[in-house]
Structure 1
């Protein structure tokens, strides 16, 4: 592994350690990962997609999802309308109807393509509503999070050269000033 990939793996390890230490992951919940491998490598989003970076990121979060008993989902890029790749059983449990597309580097992005080929029974859905999300490289995951999304912060703010944005969701507050929460 070259020095750049060693630093990237370290960034991922530190990020995941901080998320685990701060109780970000909740057993049984859905975790959405959005990532521009181009941004991770310091390039403009969608311009220098990397399967090697995708593999590192997939492996790190897939292992974290298994350890923490999470359902993991991977958001594709705008060329497939940011459709989400996940395990078939998760889509079925949520009643998310599958769409006919196979993500690839130029339409879906490297991470979505890698996930599609490495999940046990992959399916792609047009809309999802995840409980938590990790956005690496400003891929705009908010459209696939439950309302209301709440920012979450840890010390590790980048993976490679890409900014990391984290969010979890909470129930809506309704009822106005007379309501108790």
Structure 2
């Protein structure tokens, strides 16, 4: 496929901005939380996952995510593709704060993917970690991010159902319910 026109990149940027803004609100994310994003730029462009990775789409998506998350001090973790075992690009300070061991890998277009490459380029001090437990997640193109969410995962039905041609799903977490029939729960945590 050919490069996307600026107008199409603007539509992608707006959709990502709307989706992540809604997820931050619905997921009740606050400073210090981590949001994991998995993204197939191939799917965004209307191709099958892993067949048409595109750096300009990855760059547009990461820039939109950071524009929303950075002012709120919510950390972004970008999942790599299966060729890097779905490892994640995070800021080094976030990895250290959470005690996540740092791995030695630099995402490439067909070994990590365009979105993780963009994160590696746009983050201040990027590192790759093998796994995390985030408070919320955004999946653009059915990349399966659930393995990186803390239990208990709750689906979030966003107004944005598609970014480009890619199917979009989202999730947040909630504390586990413990106790039995006599237990009382804090409604604000549900």
TM-score, structure 2 normalization = 0.89
Instruction: Measure how far apart 1:17 and its partner are.
Output: 4.3
Instruction: Measure how far apart 1:23 and its partner are.
Output: 6.1
Q: Is the 8 A contact 2:140 2:163 kept in 1?
A: yes
Aligned to 2:142: 138
Aligned to 1:29: 33
TM-score, structure 1 normalization = 0.93
What is the distance in 2 between the residues matched to 1:4 and 1:87? 29
Listed as ranges, the gaps of 5+ residues in structure 1 are: none
Alignment deviations for residues 21-74 of structure 1 (CA, whole Å, 9 cap, x no partner): 646532221111110000000000010001000011000001111122101110
Instruction: Measure how far apart 1:3 and its partner are.
Output: 3.2
Q: How does 1:58-69 map to 2 (within 5 A)?
A: 58-69=62-73
Q: Describe the shift of the 1:160–1:77 C-alpha distance in structure 2 as closer, same or farther (beyond 3 A).
A: same
What is the distance in 1 between the residues matched to 2:153 and 2:106? 28
Q: How does 1:1-181 map to 2 (within 5 A)?
A: 1-19=5-23, 22=26, 24-181=28-185
What is the distance in 1 between the residues matched to 2:156 and 2:107? 29
What is the distance in 1 between the residues matched to 2:13 and 2:106? 27
Alignment deviations for residues 6-30 of structure 1 (CA, whole Å, 9 cap, x no partner): 3222322332443456465322211
Listed as ranges, the gaps of 5+ residues in structure 2 are: 186-190
Instruction: Measure how far apart 1:177 and its partner are.
Output: 2.5
Q: Is the 8 A contact 2:26 2:156 kept in 1?
A: no
What is the distance in 1 between the residues matched to 2:60 and 2:21? 15
- Secondary structure of residue in 2 paired with 1:173: coil
Q: Is the 8 A contact 2:135 2:172 kept in 1?
A: yes
Q: Describe the shift of the 1:132–1:41 C-alpha distance in structure 2 as closer, same or farther (beyond 3 A).
A: same
